[in-house]
Amino acid sequence: MNAPSEPPIVIDGLVFYGDGDAEPLRSGGVTAANITVAPYLEGMTSAFDAMAAWLAAVDRPEAGWRLVLRADDIPAARAEGKTGLIMGWQNMLAIESRLERIRAFHAMGLRVAQLTYNEANLIADGCGEERGAGLTDFGRKVVREMNRVGVAIDLSHCSEATVQQAASLSDKPVLLTHANAKAVHQRVRNKTDASIRAVAGTGGVIGVSIHGFLNWSGDPGQPPSLENFVRHVRYIADLVGVEHIGIGTDFACVQDPSKVEAILDLSRNYPGPAGVFINAFGNRLADRYPKETPTPRQFPHILRALEQAGFSREEIAGIAGGNFLRAFAQIWH
């Protein structure tokens, strides 16, 4: 009889907030996660202080984290029985106009950074900007510096022009850590076929999401579901290949959901990406996800849905984390 195969490495491409306790991710079998470690709409001091607090949390043995600085740290975290912390940002306001700060924050542990949130910043336009512009001249310098230093470029909330221009300019894989296909669901935050192809063309990965802002038809009678998540996976696999797909849940990793109420309220500022969903389903954290997966503890249900949809064991291993791991190994150096 063959010995049971080792479970795949599982990487969550985006966890939008964490309270410092790894238990929800560990209980869900998640090997490592890109956790947003700085406020979305604040500057350098806030980012520095938040990252310093996370570094202190990693140093507490009972917290169960291993800081991920290289791709090899992810399987090492599993071998140690810990959860890999990939420190990420969802906006680059903290660098202001200072290119050298990218290297400084990399030294603190930053490994993934989204060029901008829904709005424009000094680097690029986000998906909420009506004009739909792309990279600024400074933004082009930022892309090159992130490549040089070894910070993964996340384009999830960026405009279509920003996605395609950054992908064209980058000499390393670029990522959509949490974004779905606009062809399946016409949500503001989802991406066109052209942008998905551009990301895949760099060797990058699209973290397909279960989150309702992305995984929803717009019908108030049809809440987000794992079935719809699988539709996005299948569509993107047919478009660019399963080797370019990961999972980016956009979960929060918290013991007390009330800790994220300020971030949930922030969503109301974005009527296109978020407000229509909130009007349909309310603003409770658990209601943003399929009923089977309200927290990271239920992550195995996501993989089970892929298995039930007919994806092979090898394909699921890639989607679960292998594809992100490959891209990280190319980006981080």
Q: What is the pLDDT of residues 277-316, one digit of tens each?
A: 999 999 999 999 999 999 999 999 999 999 999 999 999 9
- pLDDT of 2 over the 70 cut: no
Strand-pair category, 251-253 with 11-18 = parallel
* Mean predicted lDDT score pLDDT of the chain: 96
Q: Are residues 205 and 233 in contact, defined by beta-carbon separation less than 8 angstroms?
A: no
- pLDDT of 273 over the 90 cut: no
Q: Which two tokens stand for residue 325?
A: 């791991």
Instruction: Please name the amino acid found at residue 51.
Output: M
User: Average of pLDDT values for 136-145?
Assistant: 98
Q: Are residues 93 and 120 in contact, defined by beta-carbon separation less than 8 angstroms?
A: no
Higher pLDDT, 268 or 176: 176
For 78, 111, 246, the CA distances from 176, given in Å and listed in that order, are 24, 14, 9
User: Average of pLDDT values for 181-187?
Assistant: 97
| Side-chain half-sphere CA neighbours of 158 within 13 A | 35
Dihedral sign for Cα 27, 89, 188, 318, please. negative
List, for residues 61-92, the tens digit of each pLDDT value.
888 999 999 999 999 999 999 999 999 999 99
User: Average of pLDDT values for 192-221?
Assistant: 98
Distance of alpha carbon 69 from alpha carbon 281, whole angstroms: 38
Residue 112's H or E segment, with its range, is strand 110-114
221's CB contacts (< 8 A; 6+ apart) are none
Split at pLDDT 50, 70, 90, the class of 275 is: confident
Split at pLDDT 50, 70, 90, the class of 4 is: low
49's CB contacts (< 8 A; 6+ apart) are none
Where exactly are the structural domains of the chain?
11-331
Dihedral sign for Cα 75, 328, 229, 278, please. positive
Split at pLDDT 50, 70, 90, the class of 29 is: very high
For 252, 296, 308, the CA distances from 15, given in Å and listed in that order, are 6, 9, 25
Q: What is the CATH number of domain 11-331?
A: 3.20.20.140
What per-residue confidence (pLDDT) applies to 280?
A: 94
Split at pLDDT 50, 70, 90, the class of 3 is: very low
List, for residues 41-59, the tens digit of each pLDDT value.
999 999 999 999 999 999 9
34's CB contacts (< 8 A; 6+ apart) are 11, 12, 13, 14, 15, 86, 88, 111, 112, 177, 248
